Structure 1
Amino acid sequence: MEEKIIYYGTLLELYGELLTDKQYSAIDKYYNMDLSLSEIAQEDKITRQAVRDNIKKAEEKLEFFESKLKLYKNFKKEDNIVSKLERNIINLTAKITTLSIDKYEKEKLDNTLKEIIKNVDSLKKI
């Protein structure tokens, strides 16, 4: 269920403005605020079934938008690339400390690595 919450929460961030107000409200309360169907129905003064219908329609629309635009898929792919880069940086940092090179060369490698880390960090903020 946690994967589903993250998935629809992210889709809602990406495509939420394309939903109707009722659909957005229902799916936001259900996935992001962790309210039950009954709680949403009571708060919105509608039936539980109406809440479920709004959530179902919102899920279908979000999945349709994702199937066409693939923003979530690309986001996940980029996130995986950044994670791999971070692991490689950790490995390189460990290897640099074991190298038998002069101080100047080691500083150059350290500075290059710091620049790479800075670039990877900027990717994470996008």
Structure 2
Amino acid sequence: MQGDNALEKTNRVNVLFDFYGSLLTEKQQTFLKCYYQDDFSLGEIAGDFEISRQAVYEHLKRAEQVLEEYEQKLRLVARHEFVQTGLNRLELQVADLEPDVRLSLQQTIDALRGAERDI
């Protein structure tokens, strides 16, 4: 992977993993964690699991494909990003209000952000 594209892909896979990782097989979870979170190379993972680099590559590609399929069907990441964008916009609007109104609305925004995290 090269440059900005690699970073975007890594971020995308990590976000998808946060939402759907528990739906993957244990092996898929392990390989994705090793590669995208722990920054292991294909060769390092292959050596640790005594399989070929090509097998590791295939496991990673399949796991990434499964994550994308879950997102296409469930749209949890898209929904989360939409809600966060709306809450950010609302926070900017609330900042211009009187302090007594602002406090109440900010508490509601904070509660919504907390609910998003707990899901």
> Which band: TM-score by shorter chain?
0.7 to 0.9
Shift of residue 61, structure 1, vs aligned partner? 0.5
Task: Confirm whether residue 119 of structure 1 aligns to residue 116 of structure 2.
Answer: no
The root-mean-square deviation of aligned C-alpha atoms, in Å, is 1.4
Is the deviation greater in 50-59 or in 111-120?
Answer: 111-120
Task: Confirm whether residue 44 of structure 1 aligns to residue 33 of structure 2.
Answer: no
Cα offsets for 1:2-33 (capped at 9, x unmatched) = 22222111111211122111111111211122
Flag structure 2 segments of 5+ consecutive residues without an equivalent: 1-5
TM-score, normalised via structure 2 length: 0.83
Q: Distance in 2 between matches of 1:36 and 1:87?
A: 42
Q: Which runs of 4+ in 1 moved over 6 A?
A: none
Larger Rg belongs to: 1
Identical pairs, percent = 33
> Could you tell me which residue of structure 1 aligns to residue 78 of structure 2?
73
CA spacing shift, 1:118–1:76, aligned 2, 3 Å: same
Q: Distance in 1 between matches of 2:51 and 2:82?
A: 39
> Could you tell me which residue of structure 2 aligns to residue 19 of structure 1?
24
Flag structure 1 segments of 5+ consecutive residues without an equivalent: 94-108
Shift of residue 73, structure 1, vs aligned partner? 0.7
> Could you tell me which residue of structure 2 aligns to residue 110 of structure 1?
99
Paired residues, what number?
110
Q: Distance in 1 between matches of 2:76 and 2:13?
A: 13
Shift of residue 114, structure 1, vs aligned partner? 0.6
The letter of the residue matching 1:66 is E
